Amino acid sequence: MRLYAATGDGIARLEESGEAWTVELSLLGSGAQCLAADPNDPATVYAGSRVGGVRRTRDEGRNWADCALPEPAVFSLAVSPVDGVLYAGTEPSRLFRSGDRGETWRPLDALLELPSRPSWSFPPRPWTSHVRWIAPSPHDGDLLLVGIELGGLMRSDDGGASWEDHRPGAQRDVHALAWHPGVPGRAYEAGGGGAAFSVDAGETWQPADDGRDRNYTWSVAVDPDDPDCWYVSASTGPFAAHGRRDPQAVLYRRRGKGAWRPLGGGLPQPLPSMPYALVAAEGRLFAGLADGQIWASDDRGDSWTALRLHDDALPSLVALVHAPD
């Protein structure tokens, strides 16, 4: 198995080798903050920087090329599993689309014509906002969910040519979005005021907060084999999650219509470092922590072990993706 992590400074490629993982760092000094792996080409990965645009590797992270995005501050990336279209979201809030792996870009400016746009504002920088998450549907190449931090959860069913404004029931402070890979219509959100899910392809959303004593949710993942089993990370609030204080972070699992349950089984709870990324792939669940630790579970979160990392250590972690074989 291969994972890629963004450290806030560069990119780490992690290769599973027996009971340990080798780590190779690249793009040091780039300020890499977000990642997207091409689900149809395991050698191709994209990295976004808040100062340097988008970079692309076609050889598993050994070499990187500048994709010349028109905006420098990239906060989100995604590749459509259906047609391979690459999306990039920036600050100030703009969305770009590339049908040729980042060689050329087309702005999807209809997003900026939504009635709610004048109200978009990111509290630490209230004069601006950004596209925090992009979620292309794995079932329909024209269906796209986009989260504005802070502004709402927007939906397009024509590849970004037009948009529906903030969807009913969803959190406006969008942090992460996910689709179920096998069940069309099922989507999930982690937001600043809680979590939500959709059963109608993102048209409407239902809150899912029972059982948690922390509502500042950040990352989300869904079990690929069970659309009713999903996970979020949560903290007591934004200052605890992203500041230098103890985040008192907890990983939660929800099954069916039941309440959220905290996960333990070897995982120190509450966690002393914020879980910035959750990845469910190949029968395992990974949690990437802000301090560079990565924990893994092969039983849907009942028990956990910390990954043994060889070679380069991870100084920090802000994003984590799985590169499919």
As beta bridge partners, residue 235 has: 216
Yes or no: say if 253 and 267 are a contact pair by the CB < 8 Å rule.
no
What SS3 state is found at 239? helix
What SS3 state is found at 282? coil
Nearest alpha-carbon partner for 143 in 187, 99, 113, 191: 187
- Give the chain's mean pLDDT: 95
How confident is the model over 293-323, as pLDDT tens digits? 999 999 999 999 999 998 767 889 999 999 9
Q: pLDDT at position 172, please? A: 96
What SS3 state is found at 284? strand
Going by C-beta distance under 8 Å and a sequence separation of 6 or more, which residues neighbour residue 244? none
Q: pLDDT at position 269, please? A: 82
pLDDT band of residue 245 (cuts 50, 70, 90) is: confident
Whether the pLDDT of residue 8 is over 90: the answer is yes
Peptide bond into 108 cis (omega under 30): no
The residue with greater pLDDT, 6 or 269, is 6
Q: What domains, with CATH codes, occur in the chain? A: 2-322 (2.130.10.10)
pLDDT band of residue 262 (cuts 50, 70, 90) is: very high
Yes or no: say if 232 and 252 are a contact pair by the CB < 8 Å rule.
yes
Q: Which DSSP symbol is given to 117? A: G
The residue with greater pLDDT, 11 or 18, is 11
Distance CA 309, CA 286 (A): 14
How confident is the model over 122-143, as pLDDT tens digits? 999 999 999 999 999 999 999 9
Average pLDDT over residues 192-203: 97
User: What are the Cα distances from residue 20, in Å, to 9, 15, 193, 310, 325?
Assistant: 24, 9, 37, 7, 19
Q: pLDDT at position 28, please? A: 92
Distance CA 243, CA 251 (A): 19
Whether the pLDDT of residue 257 is over 90: the answer is no
Alpha carbon distance, N-terminus to C-terminus of the chain: 8
Distance CA 169, CA 236 (A): 22
Distance CA 17, CA 23 (A): 10
How confident is the model over 87-106, as pLDDT tens digits? 999 999 999 999 999 999 99
Q: pLDDT at position 325, please? A: 78
Distance CA 140, CA 264 (A): 36
Q: pLDDT at position 18, please? A: 86
Whether the pLDDT of residue 27 is over 80: the answer is yes
Phi-psi category of residue 169: left, alpha or beta, with phi > 0 → left and psi -120 to 50 → alpha: left
Q: What percent of the chain has pLDDT over 90?
A: 91
How confident is the model over 173-185, as pLDDT tens digits? 999 999 999 999 9
**C-alpha angle with apex 45: 6 to 18, nearest 5 degrees?**
70
